Amino acid sequence: MASSGALTGGAGRFATPDEAAAVFEDGMVVAVTGSGGGILEADAVFAAIERRFLTTGHPRDLTVVHGLGIGDGQATGLNRFAHVGLVKCVIGGHWSWSPAMQDLAMRGCIEAYSLPAGVIAALLRESGARRPGLFTKVGLGTFVDPRREGGRLNAESRQDLVTLVQVDGEEYLHYKPLHVDIGIVRGSSADAFGNVSAAEEASILDSRAVALAARGAGGLVIAQVKHRAELGEQDPRLVSIPAPMVDVVVVSPTQWQTYAAEHDPAFNTPAPPGWPASTIAPPTDGARAIVALRAAMEVVDGDVVNVGFGMSAGVVDVLSRQGRLHDIQLVIEQGAVGGSPESGDLFGLSRHPSALMDSLTQFDFFATGMIDVAILGMGETDRAGNVNVSKLGPATVGPGGFIDIVHSASRLVFCGTFTARGLSVATEGGTLRILREGSVHKFVDHVSQVTFDAAGSPARNQTALYITERAVFELGPDGLTLREVAPGIDIERDILRHMDFVPRMDGVRTMPAAIFEGDHQPV
């Protein structure tokens, strides 16, 4: 099985990782699934491709397409492809799990593009179904809009992946179809025919979309699994990729469900009686605790709530300690509904979810307006209310599902510290003290990249709050308005002096005192 012809004789052919890697030819377009923390990551196949390139110099000039961040930040996942010559182009939704690939993009060694994760999943589906790409309003006004950067991340990226079109007098973005030569997916087992089951996986992410894209283009689908199942052993309801869609199966007995454990049943089983509702550690940093407490006040019983990576995830712990998780529905773009979302490297998973969707379907659900309130991070914010989370300094992070989510949620709550790099705060007697100010302003005149386009928000009937440890801002017709200030904070000294613009200041109130009565001390 040393050539592609040897592996295309029928569905479900079994091969070693190196045999599978041998089918990749120079210049191919490769779509992959996976998410940070090792979720659905086909790393045995990735490693074999890397090994072959380092040994032979081939395959070369690959285009790699991925919706979510994949890797451990050092060696696995997308890091396997991060070699000069191995990749020519990357179209990715989230880049930060591969610093090496970020570096290639920053140095101009590759063409680099970033598109919303939900858009990438839907575009793979549309491409595989042989339709003319994806037409959507998601991304209008943001950096993926061709009137801005068109998703390009460096000067070497000259392709027009996105165009602006008019449909019945309304503006849409047209994301052009992708021709995918090979799709790499993962499951927990496969039978002799090649039916791939996700029974032991924590999520199936966009694996179906990846398989669709490759099959529709006449390409190959390579599936990595942990073990080979007997015919009839797999529950047909848990087969994520059916045999007619699978060309090559690679068995990797050392495959783990995530980086954290070989298999943790909590990620795909119901909660046992009396199980605690949250496993997220309480925020220990003073600013993070304050922001999480204030943001949790924006959640109303009965809400469908989405939380983002990082600081905003602390809201879930606050709601848990308040006994409110049973009064809301948490939804995560990787597919979980309910349960207790993980933070850190395993963000995207929930322990004991009430439902597990694939991420493509989850994003489609989001597009219906299902989310009542989205609580997300903010890297920097400008006078107009635009938010940047996708490009921080010289490094490209990518939007992940951020753009898809903010486009459709009814209420937006952006969370972040007021300044960055060195900030330290504490509460004392119900007031906030700034022990050390951050050296970087996060409220700037113009954000370096637009991930949330504030100008488009009124047309979607959205409200938006921007919550920090010392101030709360609201999006108004003229941009940001200062609404609340923490007790003990002087507006001129502690707020305006550390902003690059002066916001409107109509009816400024004091932030709720209860937020500052706990022991929120610096670590």
Give rounded-to-5 percent helix, strand, coil for the chain.
25, 25, 50
What local confidence, expressed as pLDDT, does residue 348 receive? 86
Q: Which of 5-19, 89-103, 283-297 has the highest mean pLDDT?
A: 89-103
* Predicted confidence (pLDDT) at residue 400 exceeds the cutoff of 90: yes
- Rounded to whole angstroms, what are the CA distances from 205 to 1, 202, 253, 316? 30, 9, 21, 22
User: How do residues 12-53 score in pLDDT, each as one tens digit?
Assistant: 589 999 999 999 999 999 999 999 999 999 999 999 999 999
Cα 184 to Cα 31: distance, rounded to the nearest angstrom:
6
Query: What gap in Å lies between CA 128 and CA 397, rounded to an integer?
Result: 27
What distance in Å separates the CA atoms of residue 124 and residue 77, rounded to the nearest whole number?
20
Burial label for 390, CB within 10 Å (0-12, 13-18, 19+), is buried
Residue 276's pLDDT is 59
CB-count burial class (<10 Å; 0-12, 13-18, 19+) for 477: exposed
**Residue 377 confidence (pLDDT):** 95
Mean pLDDT score, 394-415: 95
Question: Residue 523's pLDDT is what?
Answer: 37
Lowest mean pLDDT among 180-189, 271-280, 404-413: 271-280
pLDDT at 314: 86
Please state the pTM of the whole predicted model. 0.94
pLDDT in tens, 467-494: 999 999 999 999 999 999 999 999 999 9
**Per-residue tokens: 412:** 């937006």
Q: Tell me what pLDDT residue 97 has.
A: 93
pLDDT given for residue 326 in this prediction: 87
- Calculate the average pLDDT of the chain: 93
Q: Which of 59-63, 168-172, 283-287 has the lowest mean pLDDT?
A: 283-287
Q: What is the pLDDT of residue 519?
A: 58
- Is 344 a residue whose pLDDT tops 90? no
List pLDDT tens digits, range 446-475.
999 999 999 999 999 999 999 999 999 999
User: Which range, of 178-192, 222-236, 252-266, 269-283, averages the lowest pLDDT?
Assistant: 269-283
Scored b (16 or more CB within 10 A) or e, 501-522 reads eebbeeebeebeeebbeeebee
Looking at the annotation, which residues are catalytic? 333
Question: 341: pLDDT confidence band, cut at 50, 70 and 90?
Answer: confident
- The per-residue pLDDT for 272 is 84
Rounded Cα distance, 483 and 503, in Å: 10
Distance CA 207, CA 34 (A): 8
372-378 mean pLDDT: 97
How would residue 343 be classed by pLDDT, with cut points 50, 70 and 90? confident
pLDDT surpasses 50 at 297: yes
| Residue 282 confidence (pLDDT) | 52
d(CA 12, CA 256): 22
Domains of the chain, each with CATH number or no CATH: 25-248 (3.40.1080.10), 286-331+371-516 (3.40.1080.10)
Note the pLDDT of residue 521. 52
Helices 359-367 and 117-128: crossing angle in degrees, nearest 10, is 110
Tokens 């799709």, located at residue: 183
Other Cβ atoms less than 10 A from the Cβ of 428: the count is 12
Q: Is the pLDDT of residue 306 over 70?
A: yes
Q: Say if residue 8's pLDDT is above 90.
A: no
Banded pLDDT at 7 (limits 50, 70, 90): low
Model confidence band, residue 3 (pLDDT cutoffs 50, 70, 90): very low
What percent of the chain shows pLDDT beyond 90?
85
Q: Can you state the angle between helices 117-128 and 207-216, rounded to 10 degrees?
A: 40
For position 10, what pLDDT does the model report?
A: 46
Q: Would you list the DSSP string of 205-246?
A: TTHHHHHHHHHHTT-EEEEEESEEPPTTTS-GGGEEE-GGG-
Mean pLDDT score, 307-318? 86
For residue 312, the model assigns a pLDDT of 85
Q: Is the pLDDT score of 365 beyond 70? A: yes
Distance CA 487, CA 430 (A): 7
Continuous segment of H or E residues that includes residue 29? strand 29-32
User: What pLDDT is stored for residue 285 in this prediction?
Assistant: 64
